[in-house]
Amino acid sequence: MQEKTTIARPYARAAFEQAREEGDLQKWSAMLQLLNLVVSDSNMQPVISNPRLDSKKLAELILDICGKHLTESGQNFIRLLVDTGRLSVAPEIYEIFEEKKVRAEGIAEVEVISAYPLDDEQQENIKKFMAKRLGKKVDITTRIDETLIGGAIIRAGDSVIDASLKGRLKQLSHNFAE
């Protein structure tokens, strides 16, 4: 995996710089996501790895599948990946591009793990709190972990706020042990 990421990094950087130059990070994000889906499809794997299919035909096939969702520079990017034999790292390119895009847009990814589903008001309150704390726009994803008993755990990058009942009980237990 590390090797694929290393190979994908310069391509992701080039795509990101091209997207910034064109002033359309969102369009490039959508194109790379589509390419990721096409390349990751289990029906496409044998086609992509088929040594009998020359790079020009493979590129045209991918371009036909993606259709009008690609700009001219997006089409050229796909041709480059096929010609250099780097089509298989499209998922890693997309992942790295998205990380760069999030940083450039100043959006913090926040994960909220709670014992029960959060309603819209609770999510909005957490979003406002974290935006103020981080000084950035916040994009929240939520998931349920019933083992928390109650409360929530909020993760933003390396920062973790454990306001779960399970976490509080663990801390109380630790305090009594000392």
Rounded Cα distance between 76 and 84, Å, is 12
Q: Which of the 8 DSSP states describes residue 116?
A: S
> How high is the pLDDT of residue 1?
54
Average pLDDT over all residues of the chain: 90
Domains and CATH numbers, the chain: 2-103 (1.10.520.20), 107-177 (no CATH)
> How high is the pLDDT of residue 175?
79
Rounded Cα distance between 166 and 148, Å, is 5
Rounded Cα distance between 31 and 24, Å, is 11
Q: Worst-scoring range by mean pLDDT, 45-59, 62-76, 154-168?
A: 154-168
Got the DSSP string for 74-133? HHHHHHHHHHTT-GGGHHHHHHHHHHHHHHHHTEEEEEEEESSPPPHHHHHHHHHHHHHH
Q: How many CB atoms lie within 10 A of CB 22?
A: 13
Interval 87-145: pLDDT, tens: 999 999 999 999 899 888 888 889 999 989 999 999 999 999 998 988 888 889 999 99
Check pLDDT > 70 for residue 28. Answer: yes
> How high is the pLDDT of residue 32?
97
> How high is the pLDDT of residue 2?
65
Check pLDDT > 70 for residue 46. Answer: yes
**Side chain identity, residue 35:** L
Rounded Cα distance between 90 and 87, Å, is 6
* Distance in Å from the first CA to the final CA of the chain: 42
Please give the residue that has the higher pLDDT: either 103 or 75.
75
**Which residues are paired to 161 by β-bridges?**
154
Rounded Cα distance between 69 and 61, Å, is 14
Check pLDDT > 60 for residue 84. Answer: yes
